[in-house]
Amino acid sequence: MGRHIHYEESVESTQKIAQRLVYEEAPEGTIIIAEEQLSGRGRMDRKWYSPKYTGIWLSMILRPNLPPPKAPQLTLITAVAVVQAIEEMTNLTPQIKWPNDILLNGKKVTGILTELQADADRIKSIIIGIGINVNQQVEDYPEELQPIATSLSIECNQQLKRAELVQILLLKFEKLYTLYLEKGFYPLKLLWESYAISIGRNITARTVTGSLYGKAMGITDDGVLLIEDSAGKVHQVYSADIELEN
């Protein structure tokens, strides 16, 4: 991981550059990292605020020989790698909110965006975008983000070396990815669940078709969230924003 690193000062989005590199046959493990993104993208067509020299804005290209339904597993593994890297760099204990938000004190510190290119039975490439808020201060955020976003620096009261964090993150990811390719998803699923904030709690899942309230039971091997409603029926949720009940 990270043997082919494209470093950029300012880009629209590292995802966009990764797409071009995928098209140009860039090998697995190619990383695109930028100091600033002018139109960083988030899930569900949201914007991702990516100011200069403050965070880690990177995309990595993977080419696993797997069928497309396995793709969400890679997002979950990435979340575990980010949590472990933050734990190694700081004394903080981040938590994962399904599917892929990483929170500190209930506020978002990291987002992960996965974009898949596949034919019917094989993944051709997968681009995993990771945005980690590292050295921003509260006043650096637009007002609407202040109640919901945080940075490592805000939470641990010190400035961190972003290059070091990137290095640790790539090592953690490589280790987990190798374990996954050798042993399958099960050990990674257990790790993911050990960091997950939502499992066992009552949540509301807002999907494109409506909302569902119930208890989060766990995830399936495909990374699908299982929610049990008040009548005891278990629903599978593939994509949603979730809200935790206090």
CB of 9 to ligand BTN, least distance (A): 15
CB of 198 to ligand BTN, least distance (A): 15
Which of residues 7 and 186 has its CB atom nearest to ligand BTN in the complex? 7
**53 Ramachandran zone, left/alpha/beta (phi>0; psi -120 to 50):** left
Output DSSP code: residue 146: T
Task: Give the Cα separation of 65 and 81 in Å (integer).
Answer: 21
The answer to the question of whether 41 is labelled as a binding residue is yes
CB of 75 to ligand BTN, least distance (A): 10
Which of residues 112 and 123 has its CB atom nearest to ligand BTN in the complex? 112
CB of 112 to ligand BTN, least distance (A): 6
**Is-contact 214 227, C-beta < 8 A?**
yes
Q: How is residue 47 written in tokens?
A: 């914007």
Which of residues 81 and 214 has its CB atom nearest to ligand BTN in the complex? 81
Q: State the amino acid at position 71 in one-letter form.
A: A
The answer to the question of whether 37 is labelled as a binding residue is yes
3-state secondary structure of 122: coil
Task: Give the Cα separation of 142 and 92 in Å (integer).
Answer: 24
Q: Which residue is nearest to ligand BTN (CB)?
A: 111
CB of 237 to ligand BTN, least distance (A): 17
The answer to the question of whether 131 is labelled as a binding residue is no
The answer to the question of whether 19 is labelled as a binding residue is no
**Is-contact 243 219, C-beta < 8 A?**
no
Which of residues 133 and 153 has its CB atom nearest to ligand BTN in the complex? 133
Residues that bind ligand BTN (CB under 6 A): 13-15, 37, 40-43, 46, 48, 50, 57-59, 101, 111-113, 129-131
Strand boundaries in the chain, DSSP class E: 4-11, 30-37, 40-41, 47-48, 55-62, 95-97, 101-104, 107-118, 123-133, 202-207, 210-219, 225-228, 234-237, 241-244
Which of residues 123 and 127 has its CB atom nearest to ligand BTN in the complex? 127
The answer to the question of whether 158 is labelled as a binding residue is no
Query: Annotated binding site, which residues?
Result: 37, 41-43, 108
Query: Annotated binding site for biotin, which residues?
Result: 37, 41-43, 108
